[in-house]
Structure 1
Amino acid sequence: MRISSLPLGIALLSTFSTAFCQASDFSWVDPAVASVSQDVIELRHTIHQNPELGNMEVKTSELVAQQLKALGMEVRTHIGKTGVVGVLKGGKPGPVVALRADMDALPVKEMTGLPFASTATGVRRGKTVPVMHACGHDTHTAMLLGAAKVLAEHRNEVAGTVVFLFQPAEEGAADVDEFEADAVIGARAMIRDGALDSPKVEAIFGVHVMAGYPTGHLYYKSGTVLNSNDAFRITVKGQQTHGSAPWSGVDPIIASENIVGGLQTLVSRRIDMTKGMGVISVGTMNAGAASNIIPETAELTGTIRTNNASIRDTILQKMPPLVNGIASAYETKANLLLVNIAPVTINNPALTEAMVPALELAAPGKVERLESSLSPSEDFSFYAEKVPGLFVFLGATPADQDMQKVPNNHSPYFTADDATLATGVKAHVQFVLNYPGRVAEKP
């Protein structure tokens, strides 16, 4: 995020101060959520058994659209390619707020042994791969559909308008190379196609399930909450030769090895560590086809994560001359491609603090403030650059399990406890009912 939301947050604290102390506890919410809980669980199981990769969520989006239309909503499809937007007009005048869920799954072979485990496959960039909801997007979609039903059935109690965003490709698109620098997918594609514009959204909320946190607990943090995400691909070109005579060629592998080491100095020597953190990880290194041939080229790919916009900018600015300089020192040539995937996710400070009472209504006695930001990234950050946003986390592991040993999100053994879904539904409902009012535009 290029412009920090902190100054705005300070300015808006007085605007929200009254609402902060006056969250409304509507007596119908708990029984209404309880009445849809079994439907939400069944929806989650259906979606889990039929996962689809990013930009391929055809059946999932059809299911979502069908559910929303049955609730009497205005529904738009093919937003951001396979995304769905539902609009619910409340019975009372008021603001426009959005609730967002992601629908896509991952190219992971499920190993959970659950009775509703996925055995699906999909095509990702021309290759057939196993597919699994290994990050809980099945729960996100089911919970938001549950909240849509609760709010639609009590629309006369809703002040303003609710926009339900069901987004594709949060994890990337199966039909797009991640190194296509001009590709617009996921949240950016939803925004491009007007997801926040018709009607004009003034605040947005999201919930993400997390393994290793107890079921039914909600976690939040004001300000920076998730890292940025940038990908890189470095192609190093040398001169092929026989392995017995390296002096007769130019070795791209040696140059690549030193580039890997040099990249770490961007963090240890170039960024201002008083502002936050950064990490650069090389995930693949490919070169050659035979043990006795020094190849012509080597390729590295990796990821850059930071929790501060200026640190991110420093790394992105200083990486090209560093890579080219090291490559030149070994008489090779390097081609560096940087792809910006997501900025830092920043929760609007004023909105966050104002919504704490709503979180308490959703999970009484089970709401905790995070002490520090988390390391993953989320393209929810793009929405939060456009309008004030709040992204919170929902524990998805039964309390009797060892939180340090459960499989993390993205593991083939990842599971989310069905018992936590009701809390997620309630959180979405309380976001709408207790949104404190119109938020001033960002400077």
Structure 2
Amino acid sequence: MLKSACACASLALLPRSAVAAAPGEAPPPARPIHGDLDAAAREVEGAMIAWRRDIHANPELGNREHRTAALVARHLRDLGYEVREGVGRTGVVAVLKGGGGPGPVVALRADMDALPVREEVDLPFASKARAQWGGQEVGVMHACGHDCHVAILMAAAQVLAARRDRLPGTIKLLFQPAEEGTVGEGVCGARLMVEEGAMRDPKPDMVFGLHVSSALPVGSIGYRPGNAMAGADRFQIKVTGRQTHGAMPWNGVDPIVIGSTIVTTLQTVVSRETDVARSPAVLSVGIFKGGLRNNIIPETAELEGTLRTFGEAQRATAKRRVTEIAQSIATGMNGKTEVTWDDNGYPPLQNDVALTARSAPTLARLFGEQARLVDPAMASEDFPYFAREAPGFFYFVGITPPGTDPAKAAPNHSPRFRVDEAGLMAGLRATLHLVADATGMA
């Protein structure tokens, strides 16, 4: 069985040369509500940054976000939200029913977990946390910016609650654990929250998510209609041969040679069987283990890798071909193989085209040419589990400071990952304006 419960941790990295100003219609003019929301955002900015720094200094790994979840739940209850805790282990779901008449149910999501990374950034609020992960003690760091996501959504919750009487419809907040995956603790956060009813009672009409990215300069927003991020599926291949002395390989069956043939042949799934011009794919084998001594051909060898795809049909076909190729090669070389797929893989993240078309003018009005179209990213996210239940729109918020080339900035998941906190205001304004325009808030 595979050791990790999730297929992939989200890197939220964009192709670093693949940004361009978004085309389309001229953005609609601002309404009075937009100025009011911007003023409110400025008022809450100090608290938002303080929340972010507190969470950054006290990071928690997936399914262990007890302190963070308690902070969030207490804040939301104080604002008058209906709050459910313990959804998907440590997740928090909160509902605010507007008093401005009928309208849509708008869901907003933020992930809360940190990474098993030792921080190397010299900050007064740098993490010194340690925890057990995979049987060893590791540093813990918000190296992917989820501290920013939580702080942004806490601030948005406060601004919206203060304008409850003017809000048509309903706001649903999803504070999610374990986006980055877990070790031996079941399914990932978004999937488990959905299974435990996070997208019911009330059912959202749309769901928005964001992710900070070092690949974009501060003050910019990146998005893409349709295919935005790849799905990720993790596989393990166990090859069984027959152990023998290295001097007499004819007396055995060499699983190292079989495994090597499998590794090279699997690349044809992408290079010869996938129309990469229409839908890119990547297959990588990252682990190849076998043998204990240089003069013994071992009994078994093990491979582990990931498959990344952009469509469900492509995903199913490629997974089938990986299994077929591994089994046929092993059989043809007198060995045996067992192929195991982690059933908690991440689906491809596909932004709803209609919702993206409705949201893009909002971002253009806010950020002008700094609202950018980006190419699909091969990194992965579990936000698609929410977007399967309602039309979804996921976008990226730049956090690399002026004077720093985003192509040279420390990427997400690096121990040197650094956030320009001015990016939090961009994320907050985007969240508030998207809600206002989606609900018709006045």
How does the TM-score come out when normalised to structure 1?
Answer: 0.89
SS at match of 1:92: coil
Verify the 8 A CA contact 2:84 2:93 in the aligned structure 1.
yes
Q: CA deviation at 1:193?
A: 1.1
Aligned partner (choices 225, 240, 244) of residue 241 of structure 1 = 244
CA distance in 2, matches of 1:110, 1:331: 48
Q: CA deviation at 1:310?
A: 2.4
Verify the 8 A CA contact 2:62 2:177 in the aligned structure 1.
yes
Indicate how the Cα distance of structure 1 residues 436 and 30 shifts in structure 2: closer, same or farther if over 3 A, else same: closer
2:362 is aligned with 1:354 = no
Amino acid at match of 1:416: V
Verify the 8 A CA contact 1:90 1:161 in the aligned structure 2.
yes
2:114 is aligned with 1:114 = no
Aligned partner (choices 383, 387, 398) of residue 395 of structure 1 = 398
2:75 is aligned with 1:67 = yes
Indicate how the Cα distance of structure 1 residues 232 and 152 shifts in structure 2: closer, same or farther if over 3 A, else same: same
Aligned partner (choices 102, 105, 122) of residue 114 of structure 2 = 105
CA distance in 1, matches of 2:418, 2:338: 40
Verify the 8 A CA contact 1:270 1:314 in the aligned structure 2.
no
1:253 corresponds in structure 2 to: 256
Amino acid at match of 2:405: D
Moved more, 282-291 or 22-31: 22-31
Q: CA deviation at 1:163?
A: 0.4
Aligned partner (choices 247, 263, 267) of residue 264 of structure 1 = 267
Q: Kindly report which structure 2 residues correspond to 1:176-325, keeping only aligned pairs within 5 A, or say none.
A: 176=185, 183-325=186-328
Aligned partner (choices 419, 424, 428) of residue 422 of structure 2 = 419
1:136 corresponds in structure 2 to: 145
Verify the 8 A CA contact 1:361 1:430 in the aligned structure 2.
no
CA distance in 2, matches of 1:23, 1:275: 38
Q: CA deviation at 1:385?
A: 1.5
CA distance in 1, matches of 2:118, 2:301: 29
Task: Summarize deviations over 1:282-307 as a string: whole Å, max 9, x none.
Answer: 11111222223222111111111112
Q: CA deviation at 1:265?
A: 0.6
1:6 corresponds in structure 2 to: none
Amino acid at match of 1:300: L
Verify the 8 A CA contact 1:275 1:308 in the aligned structure 2.
no
Query: Structure 2: any 5+ residue segments left out of the alignment?
Result: 1-23
Verify the 8 A CA contact 2:104 2:439 in the aligned structure 1.
no
Higher relative contact order (CA 8 A, sep 6+): 2
Q: Percent identity between the aligned chains?
A: 45
2:21 corresponds in structure 1 to: none
Verify the 8 A CA contact 2:111 2:146 in the aligned structure 1.
yes
Task: Summarize deviations over 1:128-166 as a string: whole Å, max 9, x none.
Answer: 222111111111111111111111122222211100100
2:372 corresponds in structure 1 to: 368
CA distance in 1, matches of 2:266, 2:152: 41
Aligned partner (choices 52, 60, 63) of residue 44 of structure 1 = 52
Q: CA deviation at 1:326?
A: 1.1
Aligned partner (choices 156, 166, 169) of residue 147 of structure 1 = 156
SS at match of 2:260: helix
Q: CA deviation at 1:119?
A: 1.8
1:90 corresponds in structure 2 to: 98
Verify the 8 A CA contact 2:168 2:439 in the aligned structure 1.
no
SS at match of 2:379: strand
Task: Summarize deviations over 1:348-371 as a string: whole Å, max 9, x none.
Answer: 11111111232234434421122x
Task: Summarize deviations over 1:40-91 as a string: whole Å, max 9, x none.
Answer: 1111111111111111111111111111111111110010111001111222
Q: CA deviation at 1:308?
A: 2.5
Aligned partner (choices 89, 102, 107) of residue 81 of structure 1 = 89
Moved more, 310-319 or 243-252: 243-252
Indicate how the Cα distance of structure 1 residues 167 and 74 shifts in structure 2: closer, same or farther if over 3 A, else same: same
* Aligned CA-pair RMSD: 2.0
Amino acid at match of 1:353: A
Amino acid at match of 1:192: E
CA distance in 1, matches of 2:31, 2:320: 48
Moved more, 94-103 or 111-120: 111-120
Query: Structure 1: any 5+ residue segments left out of the alignment?
Result: 1-16, 177-182, 438-443
SS at match of 2:272: helix
Moved over 4 A (4+): 20-23
Aligned partner (choices 11, 21, 37) of residue 29 of structure 1 = 37
SS at match of 2:325: helix
Aligned partner (choices 313, 332, 335) of residue 335 of structure 2 = 332
Q: CA deviation at 1:312?
A: 1.4
Q: How many residues are treated as equivalent by the alignment?
A: 414
2:136 is aligned with 1:127 = yes
Moved more, 67-76 or 114-123: 114-123
1:404 corresponds in structure 2 to: 407
Amino acid at match of 1:204: V
